[in-house]
Amino acid sequence: MKPLLSGPWAILTVAAAAGVFAEEAPRTIGMEELHRLDLLPAFKTSVKVASISTYDHTGGNDDGFSGKYSFVRKEGDDLVLADLKGPGCLYRFHTPTPTNDLIEFSFDGEAEPRIKLPLRQMFTGQHEPFVEPICGHGAGGFYSYVPLTYKRSLKILLRAKSFQFYQLNYATYPENALVETLTPVHSAAYLAHRAKAAALFSQRGQDLFEFNLPPGTAVKRQRIEASLQPGQTATVFKTERPGRIAALRLGPADALAGKDRDILLRITWDGDDQPAVLCPAGDFFGYAWGKPATGSCLLGTANQANYCFLPMPFDRSAAIELISARREGPPVSVSGEVVTAELPRRPEEGKFYAVWHRENPTTKGKPFTFVDTQGRGHIVGLILQAQGHSTGTTGFFEGDDQTTIDGELAVIGIGSEDNFNGGWYDVVDRWDGALSLPLSGCLGYQKHLGRTGGYRFMIGDAYSFRKSVLQTIEHAPEGNTMITDYCGMTYLYCEPRPTVAFPMPDAAARRVVDFSKITFAAGWSLPIRGFCYQGGTLTKQGAKIDGRDVRFLSLRAEGHDFFGPPFVSITCDLPETARYVVHIEPVKGPQQGCVQLFQTEAPVGEPADLFAEQPTRSGPIRMGVISAAEGPNHLMFKIVGKNNASKAHGFDLVNIICERER
């Protein structure tokens, strides 16, 4: 088999250091944490991890829309967004609604704010100390991971009469912690740490050994070459020596893809009779609905190779296995590498675990649970594949994330996409498609399939717990009333092992569920491939019809086009290759024409006369049967004529419905 990995990945790197941790100066809280991935497994020294957000305190869905909860208090006409007591550090600032209003950061009770700038400039990389790529924007959200440290206090004031959505994540430390207040003039050490953090955030799929191992550590690369037979298990890595895994790569990515999620990954530490990881292999690397989707600096897929750089320390032994849950078919060939260092787990470190949990269906009135565990540790990553049980809507993504730490509700979010640093799902150029950022991203957005999801990895803002943690997310604007199919990955370090089950996911529990009947809302963000070359106008409109508000795509044409009847070609993304029966739900009325469906310039059904004396929303009208491939398909509708009583060649389209032929 031709090796998947070549070039620098195939080179054995040897550094001049023994397999022990050298004594080092105590680390400081703040910028250094952002690049010291070698310390990511270590238990946190914070005494409190929490957030301030604009969540609706009544349990409703006004999480910033009205601005009622968008401050902790007012000072005159201005808004105090936070008033934190130290020692502490603000690790994350997120908002989907930045403004040009002045924001001020005052440290340790100072009379004159140390940082003052228009809020929007926090995220452009053009104003100190907020530099790219440690701050940025995308998928509708604006975020900063620049640590703002304070010895005694931090007050954040927005010079505005109103504001909408924001969330701040912070940690409080004991009095003797090495927390220094951020200074206006940065030291050489701070700038060096910042440069390393920026370098880390710029990586994707590249070696991170300068970050996730102590400086000067020797590493050992072991190649993976395996042929996985149906129903068999292949051990791709095994050691009986203490150490840690610094990198795991498996590919090609297509080998782990598929809606059956039938290639499983199992990782076991120290001869434990229970695995530390047991889940669909693709989902571990951030796949969504069977396809690669994540591209963070820590974990994801790049150039057909899956990668994970989260350090995994162990005491005595480690084993990584791939399991084929397939009953038949050809073997699956995989290749890659495991990179290790002979640095045993330290007493202050937790072991790495990844918990896969799916609820299909979710429980009405109860949020989806990522993880619910006892012990000590910290969550460093969350991935959510969210799918509704109804086509054509993703309203469930109004739900808020909630983190209960040591029995106290510590973090309350302001919307599902906001938890992943996004905003405004189903709005063009915001949360409307897959996008990977350094620590967060959108897995994809397919309203017609009721699907979306996101990922977020946490370094400074990790959710640290001493006794227990419960991580959940709602699946409706209020009350978890929308029944859904939620599938989550939680990445965490803890000791002892998580007090949750690691069952072998059976076939039904793993399989991606595709709708057999799919509704495409033409009046919203459905892609238009093209329409009339001349004499046609295409608009999106809303009207009250039969007592209901109706949105629709409206085509008006004047006679024939250059190449035949006036037309509109609409792109519909279908989940599998099949024959589909196509229906339309139009608005009938006095200006409507006769519409016919075409495929490759051939009619596939009879014309539908949409004339009516008064506007009325029609029920489904069968247009014909098409042969479609998985993915984007272009549906061509032509206005082939009109009723003699009709006043125009019009086509007002509310929905397209594609149903797999039985």
- Integer Cα distance of 121 and 427 in angstroms: 23
Half-sphere exposure (Cβ direction) of 337: Cα atoms closer than 13 Å: 23
What pLDDT sits at residue 563?
A: 86
Residue 192 backbone phi and psi in degrees, to 5: -65, -45
Phi, psi dihedral angles at 316 (to 5 degrees): -130, -35
- DSSP symbols for 66-96: SSTTS-SEEETTEEEEEEEESSEEEEEEEES
On whether the CB atoms of residues 236 and 294 are closer than 8 A, the answer is no
Would you call 659 helix, strand, or coil by DSSP?
strand
Residue 243, number of CB atoms within 10 A of its CB: 21
- pLDDT recorded at residue 370: 98
Nearest to 37 by CA among 346, 377, 298: 298
Quote the pTM value.
0.94
337 touches 247 (CB < 8 A): yes
pLDDT recorded at residue 300: 98
End-to-end CA distance of the chain: 41
Q: Which residue has the tokens 């006892």?
A: 374
Tell me whether the CATH fold assigned to 31-200 matches the one assigned to 518-660.
yes
Kindly compute the dihedral angle of the four CA atoms of residues 589, 448, 511, 483, in this order, to the nearest 10 degrees: -80
11 has pLDDT over 50: no
The yes-or-no verdict on residue 292 having pLDDT over 50 is yes
> What does the pLDDT read at residue 25?
53
Q: What is the mean pLDDT of the chain?
A: 94
Distance CA(505)–CA(508), nearest Å, equals 8
Residue 592, pLDDT above cutoff 90 = yes
- For residue 127, pLDDT over 60 is answered with yes
Over the stretch 309-351, which tens digit does the pLDDT of each residue have? 999 999 999 999 999 999 999 999 999 999 999 999 999 999 9
State the burial class of residue 90 (Cβ atoms within 10 Å of its Cβ: 0-12, 13-18, 19+). buried
pLDDT digits (tens, 9 = 90+) for 433-491: 999 999 999 999 999 999 999 999 999 999 999 999 999 999 999 999 999 999 999 99
Phi-psi region of 194 (alpha: psi -120 to 50; beta: other; left: phi over 0): alpha
Query: Are 521 and 377 in contact, with CB atoms under 8 Å apart?
Result: no
Q: Return the domain boundaries, the chain.
A: 31-200, 518-660
Mean pLDDT in residue range 517-545: 92
For range 112-122, the mean pLDDT: 97
Beta bridge pairs of residue 312 = 245
Amino acid residing at 35: H
Locate 79 and state its tokens: 């808004």
CATH 3.90.1150.10 fits 31-200, yes or no: no
Buried b (16+ CB within 10 A) or exposed e, 488-521: bbbbbbbbebbeeebeebeeeebbbebbeebbbb
Give yes or no for a contact between 542 and 551, defined as CB atoms under 8 angstroms apart.
yes
Per-residue pLDDT, 24? 54
Going by pLDDT thresholds of 50, 70 and 90, the confidence category of residue 2 is very low
Measure Cα distances from 373 to 184, 378, 577 in Å.
41, 11, 42
Cα–Cα distance for residue pair 585/640, rounded to 1 Å = 18
Residue 620 CA to chain centroid, in angstroms? Answer: 35
Mean pLDDT of 205-233: 94
Give residue 6's pLDDT: 33
The Cα–Cα gap between 300 and 382 comes to: 13
Q: Can you give the pLDDT at residue 107? A: 98
pLDDT digits (tens, 9 = 90+) for 29-79: 999 999 999 999 999 999 999 999 999 999 999 999 999 999 999 999 999
**The pair of three-digit structure tokens given for residue 266, joined into one six-digit string:** 């199992």
Give the list of residues 6+ apart from residue 76 with CB closer than 8 angstroms, or none: none
Question: Is the pLDDT confidence value at 21 over 90?
Answer: no
pLDDT at 18 over 60: no
The CATH code of domain 518-660 reads 2.60.120.260
State the Cα–Cα distance between residues 434 and 384, nearest whole angstrom: 13
Nearest to 370 by CA among 490, 483, 280: 490
Contact call for residues 239 and 316 (beta carbons, < 8 A): no
pLDDT average, residue stretch 585-601:
96
Confidence of residue 26 (pLDDT cuts 50, 70, 90): low
Bridge pairing between strands 463-465 and 263-269: unpaired
Residue 12 has pLDDT above 80, yes or no: no
Report whether the peptide linkage leading into residue 129 is cis, meaning its omega lies within 30 degrees of zero: yes
- 212-222: average pLDDT: 94
Tell me the C-alpha distance between 456 and 443, whole Å: 11
